[in-house]
Amino acid sequence: MKTYPTLAIQLNDISKKYEIHHDKPTLVERFSKEKNETFWALKNINLTINKGEKIGIIGSNGSGKTTLLKILAGITTPTSGDVHIQGRIVSLIDLGAGFHADLSGYQNIYLNAMLLGLSRKEINERVQQIITFADLKQFIDAPLFTYSNGMMLRLGFSIAVHAQPDILLLDENLSAGDNAFQKRAAERLRVFFRKELTIVVVSHNIAYIRKMCSRIIWIDKGSVLADGNHQVLHKYLKRK
Amino acid sequence: MINQALHFWELLWEMTEKELRARYKHTVFGFLWLVANPALQMLIIGFIFPLFFETQIEHYSFYLFTGLLAWNFFSLSLSKATPSIVFERSLVKKAMFPRAVIPLSIVMSNFINYTVALVIFLIPVLFLNTLSLKSCIFFLVGMTALVVLAAGISLLTSALNVRYRDINFFVQALLIIWFYATPIVYAPSQLPEALLWLWRFNPLTSVIQLMHHALIQAPLPDAILLSYNALIIVAVSVIGVYIFSKESKNFDDWL
């Protein structure tokens, strides 16, 4: 397959099947039950996203948005089809995840940033910026279990935006920290939106998507129902 | 490709440090425990055990401790690595990274514990005058096989445990049996000869025997046993890597 320099994300005929497990899976159940129920979260999705595009993904609950995002982030793998991703992809969706309660904020920065794909050298260069942006100066040596939820989210956000993503995944409810931090976070995101960064937003907030995204993808029952400009939003709202 | 390999090692090391730090953090003695535990165990086995037990095995407390150190590393690695991916589900759900660093970092942190204990243990061993370059090589071969086996099985069980949570209980039960199936408290020479072939299926037999030979000049494992054991170690590790890479793609679906 040819990859073009402008290509950011290419999905070829992606499908994702989930097995529905009603209870904890155990070996005995596995053999006693005849066949697991299955559910196709995504069916034959084809998608080409170029560098710098700002994509809004809309759809009702259970339409497959989250699954699509997980596949883009590499957290799960499609049952069939190929995923091609150019560059570093960072998700702002689960900011509180991946921290270790017993380690200090400082040590968590290294661990978390490495999970996002940064090298130790890159982290060394940025660790001060990360701490400053998260506004955690005097707490950075304290173990994470002493942090409030807001502090943890601030740290998560700061690490993610300093990871220099090429592709950013986010949803609208970025409720990290107090008003002052929210302002700074929103400002940082606006900078990202102005840059040559590929951004995929998943949201139910139509106003936000209208403001931030130029291309809208409407997903329904695991398939792409519409893909285009703001007209898709009108169709989506009318259908509701 | 080189970058990826480098990142894998960096991440593995970071996770290992996390493992060690988290274990000894908020303890008054901190990393001193790393030394204190094996030293205490050594004192008990060295001075108190011989008062109660009589055996034909030469240098019995050394014999016992050599096996116990290796066994502690192996069983701790396995019992902690098996449920590790389920425990670290928040990492798996966070980002794309080589999942293998989760169980392997546990094996590695236990290996560091093991090495520290070993260095302390080698001090009294030096007085036995059994160490030579040749014995060092034998020991390293045994240790490499031990680590490869621990890593291979950990990959296998941690991957399977995501989908089948019974594996964790199975491993706990297996470890109890495995301890007695390994020549740690007894020597192979004490076993009935007709049953000796059974030990060919326990790859730890050769590993421990190599270590015994290296430190206290106990007899080497025979060629048939050694080749059976080596074959099993290689096979288990290959299966472990294969199953892990296959299962790890869909860990998120089961967490």
User: Which structural domains are found in chain A, ordered by start?
Assistant: 7-86+214-239 (3.40.50.300), 105-200 (3.40.50.300)
Q: What CA–CA distance (Å, rounded) separates B216 from B125?
A: 8
Tens of pLDDT, residue by residue over B46-69, are: 777 777 777 778 888 888 889 999
Q: Which of residues 55-94 of A touch B (CB under 8 A)?
A: 70, 73-77, 89-91, 94
In Å, how far from its chain's centre is CA A101?
A: 23
**What contacts A103, CB < 8 A, 6 or more positions away?**
A111, A143, A144, B18, B21, B22, B25
Rg, Å, chain B Cα set: 19
Give the tens place of pLDDT for each residue, A46-96. Answer: 999 999 899 999 888 888 888 898 899 888 999 999 999 988 899 888 787
B255 touches chain A (CB under 8 A): no
Q: Is A127 on the interface with B (CB under 8 A)?
A: no
Q: Per the CB < 8 Å rule, is A90 touching B249?
A: no
Supply angle C-alpha A198, A204, A205, rounded to 5: 80
Residue written as token pair 């390994």: B182
Q: Which of A24, A76, A103 sits opposite B165 (nearest CB)?
A: A24
Lowest-pLDDT choice from A5-9, A150-154, B22-26: B22-26
Nearest to B179 by CA among B48, B64, B13: B64
> With an 8 Å Cβ cutoff, is A102 touching chain B?
yes
Does the pLDDT value for residue A1 go beyond 50?
A: no
A98 contacts on B by Cβ (under 8 Å):
90-91, 93-95
Among A26, A98, A117, beta carbon nearest to B166 = A26
pTM for this predicted structure: 0.89
| A24 has pLDDT over 60 | no
Token output for B162: 């995501």
pLDDT of residue A23 exceeding 70, the answer is no
The per-residue pLDDT for B208 is 95
Chain B residues with beta carbon closer than 8 angstroms to that of A142? none
Size of interface A-B (CB pairs under 8 A): 90
CA atoms within 13 A on the CB side of B238: 6
Neighbours of A78 (CB within 10 A): 23
> Quick one: angle between helices B2-24 and B101-126, nearest 10?
70
pLDDT computed for residue A27 by the predictor? 62
Task: Identify the bridge partners of residue A31 per DSSP, sorted by sequence position.
Answer: none
pLDDT of res. A28: 66
